[in-house]
Amino acid sequence: MRWLSLLLLGAMTSGCGGATPPPEPAMDPRPPTLQGTIEQVPYAGRSAIMLPPTKWNNGVTTSTLRVYQRPMTCAAAREDERGPTILRAGEYMVDVTFPAPWPFQPGMVWESPPEGQGQLETLRIFFITRASNGAHGGPGARGRVRVLEASPTGGLLEIEATGARGAGAVRGLVPFTVCPG
């Protein structure tokens, strides 16, 4: 009888594996025009995603925009937050972290401190890559971001960024989709 109780309990809890992920939003169909070079390699952004906001222990809430060189989904980008980077060897991503929750006001301009070395309270820009050994990281950048369109589900930004110590520069428009939290 005990084994029957355990079997029933197992059957009842097997479907309770946690919250189901939010539905995948429709991606902004406009391709980014963000392009340039990063570490002497041509870069062209193909898709952009704003991750759900992150609230830090010091009370600062940040929003992170990632511009990828290939099509990306919110589900894949969220996986990237929990483990190894989803970038392929030699692939680059422009990572922009804002010191506020999205959405921002159209016309707003953000500027980063030199070489993207700011704290959570400042705009931070990095050129991220993945090495053939699986390690990932990249140089900081200094730049400016202007908000052209803003809504809770997406927006359009103009980004200009120059990498530290000659690591390249990118410039262009970035339409993006906001991933649900």
Instruction: Give the DSSP letter string of 64-129.
Output: EEEEESS---HHHHHHHHHSS--PPTT-EEEEEEESSPSPPPTT-EEEPPGGG---TTS-EEEEEE
| Segment 17-21 long-range contacts (CB within 8 Å, at least 24 positions apart) | 21/75, 21/78
Residue 7 has pLDDT above 60, yes or no: no
Global confidence as pTM? 0.81
**40 located within any domain:** yes
- Tell me the pLDDT tens digit for each residue of 107-152: 999 998 765 456 667 888 989 887 666 667 788 899 999 999 999 9
173 vs 29: which has the higher pLDDT: 173
Residue 99 in any domain: the answer is: yes
The residue to which tokens 């898709």 are assigned: 47
Total domains, the chain: 1
Contact 32, 174 (CB under 8 A): yes
In a domain, 110, yes or no: yes
Domain interval for residue 85: 33-178
Asked if residue 80 belongs to a domain, the reply is yes
Instruction: Indicate whether 14 belongs to any domain.
Output: no
pLDDT for res 66: 93
Mean pLDDT, range 162-167, rounded to an integer: 89
Mean pLDDT of the chain: 82
| Residue 161, in any domain of the structure | yes
Q: Is residue 109 part of a domain?
A: yes
Is there a domain that residue 143 lies in?
yes
Query: Cα 100 vs. chain centroid, distance in angstroms?
Result: 14
The segment with the largest mean pLDDT, out of 1-5, 10-14, 37-41, is 37-41
Tokens of 44: 């062209």
